[in-house]
Structure 1
């Protein structure tokens, strides 16, 4: 965030000078990014799955080219979120694709305008379809969550938003209450989150920035990252 603080715009104004850049990551995963960069530069991730596609997190721009692209891939069955910072214009997305929005019940208080599309889910885990699972991790927000895709890599893939933040070195994950304000989590909360990640099988992680792609050895990096907290 700039020193000048937040500023506001509309979807119509954003469409005047911005579009959505679509990048293929693998056969079942596409990156969606506002171009030129906008907000904090976060990406959304489109998961292509046999029984229905799911959008992981939202970007604040929905242009005609993106709508057409998603429809050619089978539309959306659902949208799921890592945490409230990416709710954005989720109602517009849900109306466009007539799909469900999955939000953890612990983050219900942060929803301003979701319409009738939202399904609040409770507990530690929600099984969707095609072995897709949402896991509530907490930490950054009480409802901070990740999605598990067991079949996307040899030992499973996680999309994590910024439930954890991968350093530019690609060698360390941090988890904090507030990343911009550098507010840490207490050690007991770090250990609880560590246990949650240890319970899940995975080797690949995709975060909220385009560079945050860790293939093959993600679990080892997560383990060494948690070991650094004393």
Structure 2
């Protein structure tokens, strides 16, 4: 009997191969996410390849963005971090098509894939198999892997060096293993997904246990996250969506944002003059 690695149409998570679609998506049933009113829907990689394509954009020197067009599931984009020692894919998207494989191999392939948190795991195993590279995940989020595979390398502790100048930092919050990537080149940058989510005003970041269900984090957690980010050297912040980029002033923005957040959830100081 043939099997298919079905993909959740709501969150984009690819599940372990099975003869029929899974009965539920544990990622969506978790209170940080949601199940549509019409019920869980499933698709396949082949169906995605017929209806969608991967689009690319320059994001910064040595960094390209790639995302699914038209949007699928959560709609995030991934980032290709290019270094003299090789390329790292930060976060992941559900679609992988032959054109993307050809293009990425021409750019040198991938040394590793690193993912910030389970909502962006998507089709990470498909990508790892195509480029014969490991997927780096924090062990605290091991239970959220819906498609186990030998390509996954769980790391522990608070930091993990990927390549020279490219380091993963576990800061938690949204998920216990919530991870950001620090790029040391130039004035430094952090790639945050929505672990520290760049706000639409592109002057602040924010922190939530659940973004779609509007559940904030405790002030103590945000203070701890702020201290972890304060210890890093960075100027730019790259969030998980095309328009969520702070090209400069990121360190000061994090300080402002942490202070504002803590005042908002603890009071009594007003947020505005």
Is 2:42 the partner of 1:8?
A: yes
The runs of at least 4 consecutive aligned structure 1 residues that moved more than 4 Å come to 1-6
Partners in 1 of 2:242 and 2:38 — Cα distance?
A: 25
1:75 and 2:99 matched: no
Number of the residue aligned with 2:226:
194
Give distance in 1, aligned partners of 2:200 and 2:39: 24
Deviations 1:78-128 (A, max 9, x none): 000100111111111111000011000100111121310111111110112
Instruction: Tell me the C-alpha RMSD between the 2 structures.
Output: 1.3
Q: 2:173 aligns with which of 139, 145, 158?
A: 139
Question: TM-score, normalised on structure 2?
Answer: 0.81
Structure 1 gaps, min length 5: none
Q: Distance in 2 between matches of 1:209 and 1:195?
A: 25
Say which SS state the counterpart of residue 42 (structure 2) adopts: coil
Asked whether the 8 Å contact 2:235–2:248 carries over to 1, the reply is: yes
Q: 1:94 to 1:36 in 2, by over 3 A?
A: same
Q: Counterparts of 1:24 and 1:146 in 2: how far apart (Å)? A: 20
1:121-146: CA deviation from partner (whole Å, max 9, x where unpaired): 11110112222110000000000000
Moved more, 166-175 or 104-113: 166-175
Q: Which residue of 2 aligns with 1:223?
A: 255
Is 1:85–2:119 an aligned residue pair? yes
1:58 to 66, 79, 92: 92
Alpha-carbon distance, 1:27 to partner: 3.2
TM-score by length of 1: 0.95
When the two structures are aligned, how many residues end up with a matched partner?
Answer: 228
* Aligned partner (choices 74, 90, 95) of residue 40 of structure 1: 74
